Structure 1
Amino acid sequence: MNPTNYGGSMNPTIRPASMDDLDGVVASTAALFAEDAGERDPLRNPNWPEQHGTQWCRELLSNPNALVLVAVAGAGVGGHLVGNLYDPSDMWTVARAELVSMYVRPELRGQGVGGQLVDSFAEWARSRGAASLQVTAYAANAAALALYQSRGFAPLSITLTADAGEPPTPTNHG
């Protein structure tokens, strides 16, 4: 995968991550968790990257079925993407790839960085025989949904959630 340069004030470059990027990928993951926990999912543990991120990223970087990309801007990591490839199995008839995690710093958004990360993921997955690409995004994250849909992703299933507190009282409709 060739690095891709972007226009704009920070000229981000997309490239595969290396162990030298470990701290930057963990920091980018922490920023994603902080944003999701703060805006989209109060059940998300914003401290997970601090507690487990370094080990998780080390394992990803050594996994031949994982992709870790970084968007480098200036001297640091301005965003990341993590993807996994899954072989066909008794349950799944084709190889498939999942975009597991993606984050772009707010100051780099709107410059095409997210789209280039997704495009690089799709190229990587297809080159390894994936017949299906999937991503999960929060329904409240309209920008992410629009980005993924602009790259050919479409809803296949919907996850519904409910507070596990007191069950609702059934209503009588008749």
Structure 2
Amino acid sequence: MTDIEIRPATLDDLDGLTQDSADLFAEDGVTRDRLRDPEWPRDDIRTRCAGLIAAPDALVLVAVEDDTVIGHVIGTFSPASSMWTAARAELVSTHVAVPYRGQGIGGRLVEDFIAWGRERGAVRLHVSAYTANDSAIRFYQRYGFVPLSIELALDVD
């Protein structure tokens, strides 16, 4: 097996990053939330990823094997504000393609996000996961994330 490189994403990675993000959306969001539009990635995700690559307060890393994106992590940083007393960083998305799971790639991506947030001065790091996604919750807990709040929903139709 070739070594997996984890590095900052560039616009040259946009096709692979877009596909990996779409795979995450289909695997997690669409299967766990009936209000998610399965076609959303087709129109919106590429532009969103390109904007994040260029954003000064975002971290976009890709895991690459032989020039093919096989995983990613996206994080955003928010400084203290009139509402928030301290800086925070949010792990917006992380994904590793199924054939590459269990090799520590996701852990490397999350550890890089944690280091990035700390370097920027974030006092809290945040990630959300669907309550039905037990494996994601266990995964993030291994890196020190703990439940802070719960989101409740009521579908009325």
Q: Which runs of 5+ in 1 are unaligned?
A: 1-8, 166-174
What is residue 137 of structure 1 aligned with on the other side?
Answer: 129
Q: What secondary structure sits across from 1:134 in the alignment? A: strand
**Deviation string, structure 1 residues 115-171 (Cα, Å, up to 9, x no partner):** 111000010111011010000001111121111000000000011112113xxxxxx
Q: TM-score, normalised by structure 1?
A: 0.86
Percent identity, aligned pairs only, is: 50
Q: What secondary structure sits across from 2:91 in the alignment? A: strand
1: CA distance, partners of 2:107 / 2:35: 28
Q: Which runs of 5+ in 2 are unaligned?
A: none
| Structure 1 segment 72-151 matched on structure 2, within 5 A | 72-151=64-143
1: CA distance, partners of 2:104 / 2:125: 20
Whether the aligned pair in 2 keeps the contact of 1:36 and 1:44 (CA below 8 Å) is no
Q: What secondary structure sits across from 2:102 in the alignment? A: coil
Whether the aligned pair in 2 keeps the contact of 1:33 and 1:45 (CA below 8 Å) is no
Residue 10 of structure 1: how far off its partner (Å): 4.4
Q: TM-score, normalised by structure 2?
A: 0.95
Whether the aligned pair in 2 keeps the contact of 1:19 and 1:61 (CA below 8 Å) is yes
Residue 103 of structure 1: how far off its partner (Å): 1.1
Aligned length: 157
Shift >6 Å, 4+ stretches: none
Whether the aligned pair in 2 keeps the contact of 1:97 and 1:125 (CA below 8 Å) is yes
2: CA distance, partners of 1:15 / 1:84: 16
Greater C-alpha radius of gyration:
1
**Deviation string, structure 1 residues 45-85 (Cα, Å, up to 9, x no partner):** 22222101121111111111000010112330001111000
Match of 2:156 among 141, 164, 167: 164
1: CA distance, partners of 2:53 / 2:27: 24
Match of 1:68 among 56, 60, 67: 60
Match of 2:39 among 35, 47, 62: 47
Whether the aligned pair in 1 keeps the contact of 2:30 and 2:37 (CA below 8 Å) is no
Whether the aligned pair in 2 keeps the contact of 1:25 and 1:80 (CA below 8 Å) is yes
Bigger helix share: 2
